[in-house]
């Protein structure tokens, strides 16, 4: 009887870990379906000086590291690929200890991390803020939501928190490039 009291909690704990890992794997597998080249209009709320509503944005997503990471790069079409002059944020998605993590290498010079979870219907993956490395004098990325409309269309909603806890929301309505 004593051994049963010991074994039962261990079995419950291992089952919980296995379920968490399978949820994270499912979330990551959903994100990996977005690998490819994407483009579409971006809107910012509230509007930012110098950003015209509907400005075209390009996103490149690729699976790398033997399937263990997904790289997301965002850039503005028509601008030279010079990260010293133009925005060119890079985001990495990966599994870590049963969690789907996102690390955003921001043009603001910091690296926020977020944890992700797929919705029950498998159409959205939502990322919530976990922690931040680097300075925060210009603010940091705070939240992300990826909504899959179909294999060739998805929407990315990114929320940026500026000092004073004010939020800026960017929406990218992206179509797969052929």
pLDDT of residue 92 exceeding 50? yes
Report pLDDT digits (tens) over 118-146: 999 999 999 999 999 998 999 999 999 99
User: The whole model's pTM is what?
Assistant: 0.84
Residue 111 binned pLDDT confidence (cut-offs 50, 70, 90): very high
pLDDT of residue 52: 75
36 Rama sector, left if φ>0, alpha if ψ -120 to 50, beta otherwise: left
Q: Which CATH number among 2.40.128.20, 2.40.10.170, 2.60.40.10, 3.90.1150.10 corresponds to the domain 2-176?
A: 2.40.128.20
Residue 99, token pair as written in the block: 């969690």
Ranges of each domain in the chain: 2-176
């Amino acid at each position: 009887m004593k051994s049963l009291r010991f074994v039962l909690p261990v079995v419950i704990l291992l089952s919980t870990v296995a379920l968490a890992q399978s949820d994270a794997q499912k979330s990551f597998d959903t994100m990996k379906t977005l690998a490819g080249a994407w483009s579409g209009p971006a809107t910012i709320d509230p509007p930012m000086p110098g950003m015209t509503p509907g400005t075209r944005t390009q996103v490149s997503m690729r699976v790398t590291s033997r399937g263990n990471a997904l790289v997301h790069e965002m850039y503005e079409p028509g601008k030279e690929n010079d990260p010293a002059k133009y925005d060119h944020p890079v985001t990495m998605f990966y599994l870590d200890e049963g969690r789907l993590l996102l690390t955003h290498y921001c043009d603001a010079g910091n690296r926020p991390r977020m944890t992700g979870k797929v919705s029950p219907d498998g159409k959205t993956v939502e990322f919530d803020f976990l922690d931040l490395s680097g300075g925060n004098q210009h603010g940091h990325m705070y939240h992300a939501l990826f909504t899959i409309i179909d294999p060739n269309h998805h929407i990315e909603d990114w929320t940026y928190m500026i000092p004073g806890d004010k939020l800026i929301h960017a929406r990218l309505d992206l179509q797969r490039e052929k």
